[in-house]
Structure 1
C-alpha cells in the first residue's frame, strides 16, 4: 500500500531537486535529504571506495540500506505529516539498471514494501542549470539518460511520474504543492 503522505522529488542529476526541496523546507515542510550524497561525502572523507566511480556494488548496497532507514525514520518521526524525499527507493533501483547490476527478489520486495505516494514529482533535465561538482560527475548526456531510466523505473513499480515544469523555484513549489493536494 502506498504511503499517501510520502512524496518523492526525483529526476536526473542537476535538475534542481535540492533547490526545490530547500524551498519546501523554508515553507515548513519536512524534507528528507538525498542519501547518495551523504554516502559519497562519507566515503571520500574516510578514503573508502563505496563510490559511484569505485566499488559500485558496495555504494548501491549503502544507498539501498540508507534509503530504507530514511523511510523508516520518517514513519517514526513524522507520522501524519507530509514528507518530501529527495529521491526514493526506486531511484536506487534505477541506478542499478544504469550500472548493469542484478536486482534480487529481495530488492524488488523492498520496493513493494516501502511505498510512497503514487504521484512522483520528476524534474526533467534542464541544461541551463546543469552543473557538475566533486560529488556529481555525470556528463549532460548521462544526466538525460538517468532521468529517462528513473521515469521508466518508477512506472515499472506502478508510480505516476509527473514532470515538474522548468520555471521559477516559487512556481515549482506551487506546482508540487498543488499536485500533492497540500
Structure 2
C-alpha cells in the first residue's frame, strides 16, 4: 500500500484536490483536525482547538482513519494531512508534543505508513475563513512554514504543488502517484 499525504497552509486547496482525486477513482482519506473541530463546535465548543485534549483527539482520529482505510482494496491512498501535520499544528499552537502524538509519529515512521514524498500544496495568496479555519492569511503563511519545517525535520521530501487550477494541481499529484513504486 502506498499512502501519500497532501499538506500545506490552511485554505491552500488540499481538500479540493482530494475531492478531484476521489472523483477520478482514487482512494482518499479526509482531514481529521477539521472533523474534530466540527464535532466540538456541534457540541457547543466555540474553539475546540483550545481544549487540552485537542491534539490527542486529532491523532486518535487520524490513526483510526488510517487503520480503517487499510481494509480498502487499493494500492494507493491519498491523505489530507498526517500526524506530521498534527505535530506542526501543536508547534504552531504552542502545545508540547504529547506522548500520544510522539507514539503515533514513532509508529508511522517505524511501519513506514506514509510515502516519504509528501505533496506540499502551496497557498493561493489568500485564506478564506470558515467555522473551523479562523486564521488570517499572514498567520496561515507562518503555519505553512511550520509545516515545511516539521516535514523536513522528520525526513520527508516535499513535492511542490504550485498555485494553479484545481484540475492542474490534481494532475500534478496523479503524475507522481501513477509512477511505479521506488
TM-score, normalising length from structure 2?
Answer: 0.89
Contact in 2 for aligned 1:12/1:143 (Cα 8 Å): yes
Task: Provide structure 1 residue ranges, at least 5 long, that are not aligned to the other structure.
Answer: none
Q: State how far apart, in whole Å, the 2-side matches of 1:15 and 1:101 are.
A: 24
Segment of structure 1 superposing worse, 34-43 or 108-117: 108-117
Contact in 1 for aligned 2:56/2:100 (Cα 8 Å): no
Q: State how far apart, in whole Å, the 2-side matches of 1:157 and 1:168 are.
A: 30
RMSD: 1.7
Count of aligned positions = 175
Q: Give the Å deviation of 1:92.
A: 0.5
String of CA shifts for 1:111-162, please: whole Å, max 9, x gaps.
131230010001112115x311111100011110111111111111111111
Counterpart of 1:72 (choices 67, 71, 79) is 67
Paired position in structure 2 for 1:119: 117
Paired position in structure 1 for 2:36: 39
TM-score, normalising length from structure 1?
Answer: 0.89
Task: Provide structure 2 residue ranges, at least 5 long, that are not aligned to the other structure.
Answer: none
Counterpart of 2:131 (choices 119, 130, 134) is 134
Q: State how far apart, in whole Å, the 2-side matches of 1:179 and 1:49 are.
A: 39
String of CA shifts for 1:19-65, please: whole Å, max 9, x gaps.
1011001101111111111111111111247712x32x221111011
Counterpart of 1:59 (choices 54, 70, 80) is 54
Contact in 2 for aligned 1:112/1:157 (Cα 8 Å): no
